[in-house]
Amino acid sequence: MKALIKDQPARGATYTDLPIPKIGEKDLLVRVKAAAICGTDIHIYQWNEYAASRIKLPLLFGHEYAAEVVDVGKNVTHLKTGDRVAAETHVPCGHCYQCTTGLQHICKDMKILGVHMDGAFSEYAVLPAVCAWKLDLSISYEIGATMEPFGIGVHALSKTKPAGKKVIVFGCGPIGIYAQMVAKVSGAEYVIGVDVTPERLELAKKMGTDIVLNSKEVDVISEVEKITKGLGMDIVVELTGNRGVLNDASKTLRRGGDIVLVGLFSGPVEWDVVNHVIYKEANVYGVTGRIMWDTWWTAQSLLLSGKVDVGPVITHRFELKDYEKAFQLAQSASTGKIVFEI
């Protein structure tokens, strides 16, 4: 099968032929139909510190995908050949404290597809059956491949009650835009998106965000002050993972508001906890991945309701062999989702 792998501890990737993988008793063999590029894949492609410290080579990477089941392990009873599935990336151990209390997505011994084990930038992939979400027939493979990142936006907003509230999202990458769409459909009074890339701000606007602010051009804190007539935001979602942004984001939050932290900072951050959290009695939430399977049900319902159309967030499509062009574009941080049609 054709596959895009990482086999050198250097920038780039290798497009090659691999044998079709063998599956275990609890796995599915799937024919991958669409796979999206995630920030993690960019780290792996660039081979930065994040990738070098986590990844054992060679690795078949790529983890946001949808596929058709072509074979099932002998202990898999709930799925069959021909089923259409999307992949949950967090592979839970199934028996730790978290796994046995409904928190599989933060399993103590969690493995991540395409990071700790082979992923899906390939024609075929092994998907642990425990991580397979059966796709509704009306949801395309392409949309199915983006349900994983869409789910992060859904999960982030699920910590809050956006109806009638003022919501600001720092970061207008795909997950940021998904979060803004979820806030909007959940009845937010208005949603503000902040980014530094004009293309992404434009995309956020197109997807329904009420106000977009380019933090390179305007002082976001005083803009928010004006927009909210001094009240501040009820809900702040931080998705940039940029260390400089956290304190500014916190300054836009009203007293007693909610701040949801999702973006991954590289290393420890300096955060004025006394002023931004304690004196404000801010509610701080950390969010990672998607709750299995609550988030997926909600994500699916939002898509099936017809009130959320995530299709246009996919801005570029490539064949796997054109991976260099795809990754070059992905690194520009100016696009929506980039999907490989496989």
Binding site for Zn ion (CB under 5 A): 38, 40, 92-93, 96, 99, 107
Distance CA 11, CA 322 (A): 16
Q: Torsions phi, psi of 93, nearest 5?
A: -75, -30
Of 43, 105, 155, 276, catalytic: 43
Q: Which is nearer to Zn ion, 103 or 277 (CB)?
A: 103
Active site residue 101: no
DSSP code at position 227? H
Locate tokens 């064949």: which residue?
A: 319
Q: Are 156 and 179 in contact (CB under 8 A)?
A: yes
Q: Which is nearer to Zn ion, 81 or 100 (CB)?
A: 100
Least CB distance to Zn ion at residue 243 (A): 21
Distance CA 54, CA 70 (A): 30
DSSP code at position 11? S
Least CB distance to Zn ion at residue 275 (A): 33
Distance CA 165, CA 232 (A): 11
Q: Which is nearer to Zn ion, 38 or 220 (CB)?
A: 38
Q: Residue 190: in which H helix or E strand, if any?
A: strand 190-195
Of 16, 40, 63, 105, catalytic: 40
Least CB distance to Zn ion at residue 84 (A): 20
Q: Residues with Cβ < 8 Å from 184, sequence gap 6 or more?
A: 191, 208, 209, 210
Active site residue 155: no
Least CB distance to Zn ion at residue 95 (A): 6
Q: Which is nearer to Zn ion, 99 or 132 (CB)?
A: 99
Give the active site residues: 40, 43
